Amino acid sequence: MMISQLNELQKETFAQFKENIKDCKLIDSSDDYIVKWLVARNFDVDQAEKMLRRSLEWRRANRIDEIVEQWEPPVALVKYYPMGIIGNDKQSCPVWIVSFGNADWRGILQSVSKRDYMRYVCYMAEKSFHEMRKNALQTQKPVTYQTFIIDMDGLSMRQMSYRPFREVGIEGIKLSEANYPESLRRVFIINAPKAFTFVFSMVKPFLHQVTLDKISVFGFDKNEWSAALLKEIDADQLPVYYGGTMTDPDGDPKCSSKVSIETFVIRLWGSILLIHQV
């Protein structure tokens, strides 16, 4: 919800909230950013203030403000975390593609610590925030949301049943909901197998209804989900594989250069960790 969409009562509530947090040092002082915290708590001023202040303390304790410039992520996450920005949607919001189903989640989680993995989640969230600010400067209009295309093709029950995979997934959602409220414009989950209902049932309790309302889930009907994507994203901002016209310089229809979709196999021999690209 943008500040321009508030009704009179909500505007009064927003004014009170803004007065209550005037001592806070925010990463974005715009009204469109501040109102996100109210929306996340259904315009309950006290709850929104508590949420915001807890998040600011979390940012301070974890040095989130400097994470993009000062933290060097593990190579395994940089190379193999299956996520990248491929363009902007029709509202100038960054569009992320997550090649979720093709990732070797066991391999990734066995090659990095849980702390580094969760820190990388924050790192990527901050990179997206920087991208939104850049788009806002270029378009001279507010850009405070992002769009996700989450491709489940290749997701197996073996991956979903891996306990560390489930744990970091739930923890990541909790972290995002607590510290990056109302950051999603649309989420398209495509090529979702029947077993996906198992994953979704685990994460739904941790998502606010306002977030759930932005999620659309599609099966393997490409005509159906590509049509939905093109309603929100221009063809020249979308890879050919997803119904657009973009390709990599080498003709790759998935634009793999923008999204890490390689996989790797982890083998532990004694105390030696070998990462083999396949």
| Domain containing residue 131: CATH number | 3.40.525.10
> Looking at the structure, do residues 50 and 74 belong to the same domain, yes or no?
no
> Looking at the structure, do residues 137 and 266 belong to the same domain, yes or no?
yes
pLDDT band at 276 (very low <50, low <70, confident <90, very high): very low
Number of domains present in the structure of the chain:
2
Q: Which residue has 């378009």 as its token pair?
A: 139
> Looking at the structure, do residues 35 and 96 belong to the same domain, yes or no?
no
One-letter amino acid of 89? D
* pLDDT on residue 53: 98
Q: What is the pTM of this model?
A: 0.86
Q: How far apart are CA 42 and CA 101, in angstroms?
A: 34
> Looking at the structure, do residues 235 and 154 belong to the same domain, yes or no?
yes
Asked whether the beta carbons of 35 and 3 are under 8 A apart, the reply is yes
User: pLDDT (tens digit, 9 = 90+) per residue, 150-204?
Assistant: 999 988 777 777 888 889 988 998 999 999 999 999 999 999 988 787 778 878 8
Q: Phi first, then psi: give them for residue 69, nearest 5 degrees.
A: -85, -30
* pLDDT on residue 268: 31
Domain extent for 77: 68-277
Longest dimension (CA), the chain: 66
- Of 92-96, 98-102, 265-269, the poorest mean pLDDT is in 265-269
Percentage of the residues of the chain whose pLDDT score is greater than 90: 66
> Looking at the structure, do residues 56 and 74 belong to the same domain, yes or no?
no
> Looking at the structure, do residues 91 and 15 belong to the same domain, yes or no?
no
The overall average pLDDT reported for the chain is 88
To the nearest 10 degrees (0 to 180), the angle between helices 45-62 and 163-179 is 120
Asked whether the beta carbons of 114 and 153 are under 8 A apart, the reply is no
Asked whether the beta carbons of 21 and 52 are under 8 A apart, the reply is yes
> Looking at the structure, do residues 243 and 204 belong to the same domain, yes or no?
yes
> Looking at the structure, do residues 135 and 262 belong to the same domain, yes or no?
yes
- Using DSSP bridges, classify how beta strands 184-190 and 146-151 pair: parallel, antiparallel or unpaired: parallel
Strand-pair partners of 272: 269
Grouping H, G, I as helix, E, B as strand and the rest as coil, residue 161 is coil
> Looking at the structure, do residues 11 and 84 belong to the same domain, yes or no?
no
Distances, alpha carbon 33 to alpha carbons 20, 81, 260, in Å: 15, 28, 30
Q: Which domain-ending residue is among 17, 39, 62?
A: 62
* pLDDT on residue 36: 94
Span 14-42, average pLDDT: 94
> Looking at the structure, do residues 167 and 244 belong to the same domain, yes or no?
yes
